[in-house]
């Protein structure tokens, strides 16, 4: 399912226009991105948790030459599935 199909399904389920459903979906992701960027955790109980995680410096390999390279420490976004989402994937 792509974004257009998701917006159409949301609009149908909520009995709203696709424009309104699309705006709500965009606003949700923009809000999640802003909160995670600020270092806050976003948790939708039973569905998912989105957090910012620190990564440590490590040694990597250049895939073309095999040469060892240093990868700097940084941050990444971590998304964890909640119990309802996990259960949906099992059926």
User: In this predicted structure, what is the pLDDT of residue 29?
Assistant: 97
Q: Is the dihedral of CA 30, 89, 13, 8 positive or negative?
A: positive
Strand residues in the chain grouped as ranges (E): 42-44, 48-55, 58-61, 68-71, 74-81
What residue ranges do the domains of the chain occupy? 1-40, 41-91
Q: How confident is residue 55, by pLDDT bands cut at 50, 70 and 90? A: very high
Other Cβ atoms less than 10 A from the Cβ of 81: the count is: 14
User: In this predicted structure, what is the pLDDT of residue 89?
Assistant: 87
Residues 53-59: what's their mean pLDDT?
95
Q: How many helices (H) and strands (E) does the chain have?
A: 3, 5
Q: Tokens 């599935």, residue?
A: 81
What mean pLDDT is reported for the chain? 95
- The CATH-assigned architecture of domain 41-91 is Irregular (4.10)
């Amino acid at each position: 399912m792509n974004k257009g199909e998701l917006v159409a399904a949301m609009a149908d389920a909520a009995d709203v226009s696709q424009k309104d459903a699309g705006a709500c979906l965009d606003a949700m992701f923009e809000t999640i991105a802003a909160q995670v960027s600020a270092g806050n955790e976003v948790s939708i109980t039973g569905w998912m948790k989105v957090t910012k995680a620190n990564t440590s410096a490590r040694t990597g390999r250049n895939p073309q030459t095999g040469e060892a390279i240093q990868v700097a420490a940084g941050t990444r976004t971590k998304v964890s599935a909640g119990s309802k989402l996990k259960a949906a994937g099992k059926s």
